[in-house]
Amino acid sequence: MPIKIYRIKEVCEITGLRPSSIYKQIRLNLFPQGVKLTARSTGWPSDVIDAWLKSRIAGERL
């Protein structure tokens, strides 16, 4: 399955977080850094977001 690049709007929809929460968690090293696509745009590979979600779900069940 090919990797898709999610922009911030899609990441928000997938995670249920607001952009400000995502960027705060990035600063705290609790969310994966995005990939700079251009000088003004950032994207997150789908496999990275999927892995982050799985780790959050696994952590909640422990």
pLDDT number for residue 62: 46
Number of CB atoms found within 10 A of residue 36's CB: 10
* pTM for the full predicted model: 0.86
Number of CB atoms found within 10 A of residue 14's CB: 15
CB 43 within 8 A of CB 10: no
Domain boundaries, given as residue ranges, for the chain: 5-61
pLDDT number for residue 61: 59
Tens digit of pLDDT at every position of the chain (62 positions): 788 999 999 999 999 999 999 999 999 999 999 999 999 999 999 999 999 999 999 986 54
Alpha helices in the chain, H assignment, sequence order: 8-15, 19-27, 46-61
